[in-house]
Amino acid sequence: MDKRLGFVGIIIHNRKKAAPAVNGVLTEFAEMIAGRMGIPHVKKDLNVIVLIVDATTDEVGSLTGKLGKIEGVSVKSGLSKPE
């Protein structure tokens, strides 16, 4: 399976509770993460993280599946079309 460029959008509700688990998963998948940007939304107690990934569909599915199981985390992803 070929790697494709894509993104993963993560919204964390209640950062103090969920962020350690999210960071653990991101560390586990660090080799496929090309870039990361995180923005806090203090008034709503939310954090938004956007990842740029270079990965197969299976790798992205594994990453998003693990993130989605964390309480208070919402995740969406998109990949470029295959060449």
- Where residue 67 falls among pLDDT bands split at 50, 70, 90? very high
The Cα 32–Cα 12 span in angstroms is 21
Q: CB–CB of 71/7 below 8 Å?
A: no
* Total domains, the chain: 1
Output the six-digit token pair for 13.
Answer: 């509700």
Please give the residue range of the domain that contains residue 16. Answer: 4-78
Domain assignment present for residue 45? The answer is: yes
Q: pLDDT tens digit string along 35-58?
A: 999 999 888 889 999 999 999 999
Residue 83 lies in a domain: no
**What CATH number has the domain bearing residue 30?**
3.30.70.1150
pLDDT above 80 for 1:
no
